Structure 1
Amino acid sequence: MDRRQFLTRSALVAAAPALPILTTHKAFAASSAESRSGDLVAPSDQLPARNELVAVARQVADHWISTHSDSGDNGWARATLFSGLMALYRLTREPRYLNYTRSWAEKHAYGIRGGVTTRHADNHNAIQAYLDLYEIEPSANKLTAATDTLRRMITNQPNKNDDWWWDDALHMALPAFARIGRIRNDPAFWDKGYQLYNHTKRVHALYASDLGLWYRDGRFIPGGIVSPNGKPVLWSRGNGWVAGAHVKTLKALPSTARNVPEYRETLVRLITALHPIQRGDGFWNVNLGDPQHLPGPETSGTSFFTYGTASAVATRLLPSATYLPMAARAWNGMVATAVHSNGFLGYIQGVGDRPESSQPINVNTTADFGVGAFLLAASELVS
């Protein structure tokens, strides 16, 4: 089934009444009102104290849980939420986060959306949260379907590597191949993951090697769709998915795995490309290739970029002196602009495949996958 045929069923994009913005970090006591009135206030390039950062993340997570008694389906969007929630659990050891995630996984019997024969990366995204639960509470049944569906990718049509035709797919499935391979001590999973990745990167030609950034899919490569100003369309969240994929995959693979150098170099290129195009308010635009194309803050892409930058700094792939302030500006900008006083997270572009999708974006637009990305960013900044 074409992913675009069921996107609208895959994520909750909710609206909420306009509420005050959270100003936990004292540097932003006045910036919210000023920025919303049109006067840009640059966020601090220093991270707040660890306890303040964690408090914001917990408030965002708690708001989501308190307003979503139904934990939802096991599609890609909700699975991204749980990936972030489990990262926050590992940081805080708050039982509520583990219990909410466990009940969700058990509701779906640790199964795969579309069944184990699916080759669609979106359907494989839930495996990451199942792995998080397995690593805390090992039980073979948690990975039965996950291992089966990925192994079928290896053994059924072994030379078929064209399944990941859009860049989001890297986040949805590549980390699962890396982690299952480590747990099963079977490099065949790593090899297959790389073959699929390499096809996306070089055969589908989604990697703009001269820019260090990625096109969302083949419609946007040179000669295809451009912005109204004739500039490239390099979707922010699409590149965010790519950043998240590289971080999670590198966390899983041993440093000696043969494709690690390429994964590292590609992540570094992406994060380096982001540095000069960060907005003055700490965010990145929905189109990284054209600052005039639907300009404005957007939280999901910015969250993933914060996650990727924090990881690159923590693993010494990039210098802290230059890139930690970039991550701090992004985090502080999101807290000042997107986080409501009750923990509702706004300025998230809803489900889509390009900058024009789910517009307009504002302080009251949210989505589960954006909350998950924000929690991943928070957890990486303080880990």
Structure 2
Amino acid sequence: MSRRAFGHTLGVLGLGLLLPALPAAAKRLPKKKDLLRTMTLANDYFMQKWPDTGKEIVTNKTRPSNIWTRAVYYEGLMALHGIDKQKRYYDYAVDWGEKHKWGLNRGIETRNADNQCCGQTYLALHAIDPKPERIHDIKASIDLMMQTEQADDWWWIDALQMAMPVFARLGVMYQDNRYFEKMYQLYDYAKTRHGGNGLFNAQDGLWWRDKDFVPPYKEPNGEDCYWSRGNGWVVAAMVRVLEIMPKDAPHRQEYEQMYLTMMKALPPLQRPDGFWNVSLHDPTHFGGKELTGTALFVYGMAWGINQGLLDAKQYQPIVTKAWQAMASEGVHKTGFLGYVQGTGKEPKDGQPVTYTSKPDFEDYGLGCFLLAGTELCKLNDNLDKAAAKS
């Protein structure tokens, strides 16, 4: 048995041994009101810190607030609004779109998925209150890409989450399979071509972050480098696309199979405390609690349970343990989120990651957290319905 196979087997056995020893409270999914209380605290902290939705973000340089980091936050906010329809959430998102005139960073000519991520929220807001200006620029940007044969744009795996749901939503809105086909062309190039043989390693069921991290790049322990949040972005991409696409949409089976493959790979890699490390196959390389990858994995697993794609008996204890860890160890009394790795592309970036460390951008971590929490609320609702029927 290879070291990797042995490590994975040990992880599975460890998971099985740990779960029965957990206190009963740690196995129980928190009540919906408790989930909402935690999410509301974290979200209120952010909304109070950023009352002006159009204010530029200043870190090492000044950036507009419709970049991908803020766009991911609004994905989470719209998910929260979906289960807790507070008008202030909707108004906050609309104000953000209006402050940017529903535009994209770098304009409609951009092919960069990060710049197109804001379109997810623009399209979601258009679905609530259809207004042409809300989707004009994002549709124009995607349509320009559709007019070319170029397919190598998504050379980093974060791009899948940033842009795939936009293509999927437009395909549904306009009942036009060309959006689905172009999305698949870009996805397949990332999966099978970038870096020589593609960014997905079928042997491990995980993705290298980008074309710079495929073999022979190795972690200090000799394993391939699989970045937690990067793989979290792919999980989120699959979830959001599957949630949007019709059952008979082209290539849906590929995305569902990719989702299930990743869901099989992740449980053995969970830390005993409930988090996942920033380096999925090398816990010694900047090992420690990390919230963003963990939140995205919880989001994906909870969604799969809700859709009947994952076995609740196996995955519910995993997501419960992870959420309890994030909520009890990551959320400050103020609502600030600890253990959020800053921007980057590998384990060493944004370090140190601690309870009190402040990432260069706070927004995307909260977005990931809200996506996870809202899906757990839906799981709670489904459990209540099942209990009522029994």
Is the TM value for this pair above 0.5? yes
- C-alpha change, 1:213 and 1:42, in structure 2 (3 Å) is farther
Alignment of 1:158-177 (within 5 A): 159-177=149-167
Residue 131 (structure 1) shift: 1.1
Alignment partner, residue 209 of structure 1: 202
Alignment of 1:1-383 (within 5 A): 44-71=26-53, 72=55, 73-155=65-147, 157=148, 159-204=149-194, 205-224=198-217, 226-364=218-356, 365-366=358-359, 367-383=362-378
Residue 258 (structure 1) shift: 2.4
- C-alpha change, 1:243 and 1:43, in structure 2 (3 Å) is farther
Residue 137 (structure 1) shift: 1.1
For the residues of structure 2 that align with 1:119 and 1:50, how far apart are their CA atoms? Answer: 39
Residue 41 (structure 1) shift: 9.7
- Aligned letter for 2:333? S
Per-residue CA deviations over 1:264-295 (Å, capped at 9, x if unaligned) read 11111112111111011110000001111111
For the residues of structure 2 that align with 1:353 and 1:43, how far apart are their CA atoms? Answer: 36
Let me know the Cα RMSD of the aligned residues: 1.4
Contact 2:220 2:282 in 1 (8 A): no
For the residues of structure 1 that align with 2:179 and 2:166, how far apart are their CA atoms? Answer: 9
- Aligned letter for 1:212? G
Residue 95 (structure 1) shift: 1.2
- Which structure has more relative contact order (CA 8 Å, sep 6+)? It is 1
Contact 1:42 1:280 in 2 (8 A): no
Contact 1:167 1:242 in 2 (8 A): yes
Residue 66 (structure 1) shift: 0.8
Contact 1:297 1:347 in 2 (8 A): yes
Contact 1:298 1:361 in 2 (8 A): yes
Alignment partner, residue 13 of structure 1: none
Contact 1:87 1:376 in 2 (8 A): yes
Residue 257 (structure 1) shift: 1.1
Contact 1:42 1:281 in 2 (8 A): no
Residue 104 (structure 1) shift: 0.6
For the residues of structure 1 that align with 2:248 and 2:175, how far apart are their CA atoms? Answer: 14
For the residues of structure 2 that align with 1:361 and 1:234, how far apart are their CA atoms? Answer: 17
User: Structure 1 residue runs of 4+, over 4 Å off?
Assistant: 40-43
Which moves more between the two structures, 163-172 or 338-347? 338-347
Contact 1:303 1:374 in 2 (8 A): yes
**Superposition TM-score, scaled by structure 2 size:** 0.85
Contact 2:180 2:250 in 1 (8 A): no
For the residues of structure 1 that align with 2:28 and 2:279, how far apart are their CA atoms? Answer: 26
Contact 1:43 1:282 in 2 (8 A): no
Which consecutive residues of structure 2, in runs of 5 or more, have no partner in the other structure? 1-21, 56-64, 379-390
For the residues of structure 2 that align with 1:112 and 1:277, how far apart are their CA atoms? Answer: 37
- Aligned letter for 2:170? I
For the residues of structure 1 that align with 2:24 and 2:45, how far apart are their CA atoms? Answer: 27
For the residues of structure 1 that align with 2:182 and 2:134, how far apart are their CA atoms? Answer: 22
- C-alpha change, 1:129 and 1:294, in structure 2 (3 Å) is same
Alignment partner, residue 7 of structure 2: none
How many residue pairs match? The answer is 341
Residue 42 (structure 1) shift: 11
Contact 2:113 2:154 in 1 (8 A): yes
Per-residue CA deviations over 1:149-208 (Å, capped at 9, x if unaligned) read 0011111x2x21000000000001001000011111111111100110000001111101
Alignment partner, residue 6 of structure 2: none
Contact 1:214 1:239 in 2 (8 A): yes
Once the two structures are aligned, what percentage of the paired residues are identical?
40
Which consecutive residues of structure 1, in runs of 5 or more, have no partner in the other structure? 1-39
For the residues of structure 2 that align with 1:43 and 1:274, how far apart are their CA atoms? Answer: 23
For the residues of structure 1 that align with 2:306 and 2:251, how far apart are their CA atoms? Answer: 20
Per-residue CA deviations over 1:14-47 (Å, capped at 9, x if unaligned) read xxxxxxxxxxxxxxxxxxxxxxxxxx99981321
Alignment partner, residue 34 of structure 1: none
